[in-house]
Structure 1
Amino acid sequence: MRVLIGADRNDDVSDDDLTKLYTAEASAAKPWMRCNMVSTVDGSATGVSGDSGSINNDADGRVFHTLRALADVIIVGAGTAKVEQYGPADVPIVLVSRKAQVPESLRGAPAGSVYMATCSRSDGIDSAREILGEEHVLTLGSHRVDLPLLKRELAERGWVNQLCEGGPHLLRDLVFQGCVDELTATTVPQIVGGANGRITEGAPVDTALELTLLLEDAGTLLGRWRVKN
């Protein structure tokens, strides 16, 4: 893995180098939310398997694990967590769902390792409270999840390095509502065709990005893109 843009040239990036290259600018006064996504050259966020597993590679995996190690909390749409078969992580996982549906793969997680961010009108809120514990269900908004409030709520718990892992609808909504500070995006040298979705889905948004880092590994491109406010 080598640095192409954004730092001193380095043709042999170590794991310690990756940690330094991806360290965020979070503080108690300004939490930092980064969203990490992967796609193919032809823009697909999933492969033939219907999830990201068939397009992930070793280079993307190195950055994925680096970002998780730097995170205080992981934010993910409940639908994505279900498709990707999420299990407990080293930091809390916050599921985002208007329906408050807890994926089967996380229902037996240790108490306090999984949270649900939902809205008061959710039909599944009582079930989520029973599964996760009432104190682990965050009611943020009435008809839809208030995402800026979610960002602030997590920061107040001390979780200022916030990592979102999708899915595409959640990423679009976070960008639209001004929550995202940075997108870390991997492009793998693969074409899959088909009707697979992109890393964002939903109504159009128009948000400018600034490239601050670009790495390359055997054709895989890994970038840090700062959201320009």
Structure 2
Amino acid sequence: MADSLHRLDDGEARTARDLVAGLGLRDERPAGARPRVVADMIASADGRASVQGRSVALGHPADRALLRELRTGVDAILVGTGTMKAERYANLLDADQRAGRAAAGLPEHPTVVTVSRALELPVEVGLFSEPGRSILVYTESCAAAPEVGADVEVVRLAPGTLALPALLADLGARGVRGVLCEGGPTLLRELVVQGLLDDLLLTVAPWLIAGDAPTILEGAAELPEAGRLGLRDVHRAGDHLFLHYVPQRD
């Protein structure tokens, strides 16, 4: 199958759906715990996260299947407005994935969560025109919410108080257990710096890109503390490698 992933240590084939089911993204969390945060990223062999501004050119059918199954398995998708615009967000799930969520008693679509201090949103992308899509925006702006086809809820915070720990705490209070971060590199860096990332699923694409495309973490300065990772699992599909890392914390 096009979306089959083969485990490197024993060659066992799994579908993207099987792999995501094994992650348990919506398992019960301890009382008061923030949601589990899983990031899904792709990079070329020389570390570039996009080609001509988009990551799709690096992908493989199994990579695309994995992303959509991850979306199916979480309560919320956390994504920066720049990534929404660059990747032209729309139609995030297939019909069978929506049906599977509904059969499990979940909303057909996970909530899409984004951060914009000035409430500047890429309303031209398809996601904002899709009726019934739930979009949650955290901002420090007093500007009016955009009038779009999707259901947009704006959470307004005082200037200087918008931070990811507070955002995740609010999501937890709303019943969110699992969050999928889809980038971009600035947002992912902030999750790493603040110790909020629980899993990194990194696809390594068999391409050499060079140029000035971003890496999966943005920022000229090194991290305050090196982000040590532990390798949990490795799969392959064709020449693409799928790596599951977990942060190593003291």
Q: TM tier, shorter chain?
A: 0.7 to 0.9
Aligned CA distance change for structure 1 residues 140 and 204 (closer, same or farther; 3 Å): farther
Aligned pair partner of 2:238 in 210, 213, 218: 218
Asked if the contact 2:129–2:150 (Cα under 8 Å) also holds between the matched residues in 1, the reply is no
Structure 2: give runs of 5+ residues left out of the alignment: 93-108
Asked if 1:98 corresponds to 2:117, the answer is: yes
Identity %: 31
Q: What SS class does the counterpart of residue 62 from structure 2 fall into?
A: helix
Find the counterpart in structure 2 of residue 20 from structure 1. Answer: 21
Amino acid at match of 1:219: D
Structure 1: give runs of 5+ residues left out of the alignment: none
Aligned CA distance change for structure 1 residues 102 and 210 (closer, same or farther; 3 Å): same
Distance in 1, matches of 2:152 and 2:61, equals 37
Aligned CA distance change for structure 1 residues 213 and 140 (closer, same or farther; 3 Å): farther
Q: Larger deviation: 13-22 or 37-46?
A: 13-22
- For residue 28 of structure 1, report the CA deviation from its aligned partner: 3.5
Q: What SS class does the counterpart of residue 107 from structure 1 fall into?
A: helix
Aligned pair partner of 1:137 in 145, 151, 154: 154
TM-score by length of 2: 0.80
Asked if the contact 1:28–1:155 (Cα under 8 Å) also holds between the matched residues in 2, the reply is no
Find the counterpart in structure 1 of residue 95 from structure 2. Answer: none
Distance in 2, matches of 1:41 and 1:134, equals 39
Asked if 1:116 corresponds to 2:137, the answer is: yes
Amino acid at match of 2:112: I
Q: What SS class does the counterpart of residue 243 from structure 2 fall into?
A: strand
Distance in 2, matches of 1:198 and 1:54, equals 15
Q: What SS class does the counterpart of residue 150 from structure 1 fall into?
A: helix
Q: What SS class does the counterpart of residue 42 from structure 2 fall into?
A: strand
The aligned runs of 1:66-77 (5 Å cut-off) are: 66-77=69-80
Q: Larger deviation: 38-47 or 125-134?
A: 125-134
Number of aligned residue pairs: give it: 221
Aligned CA distance change for structure 1 residues 54 and 135 (closer, same or farther; 3 Å): closer
Asked if the contact 1:211–1:223 (Cα under 8 Å) also holds between the matched residues in 2, the reply is yes
Aligned CA distance change for structure 1 residues 160 and 45 (closer, same or farther; 3 Å): same
Aligned CA distance change for structure 1 residues 27 and 142 (closer, same or farther; 3 Å): farther
- For residue 224 of structure 1, report the CA deviation from its aligned partner: 1.3
Asked if the contact 1:210–1:227 (Cα under 8 Å) also holds between the matched residues in 2, the reply is yes
Amino acid at match of 1:208: R
- For residue 99 of structure 1, report the CA deviation from its aligned partner: 2.4
Find the counterpart in structure 2 of residue 196 from structure 1. Answer: 213
- For residue 196 of structure 1, report the CA deviation from its aligned partner: 0.6
Aligned pair partner of 2:200 in 172, 183, 200: 183
TM-score by length of 1: 0.87
- RMSD of aligned Cα (Å): 2.3
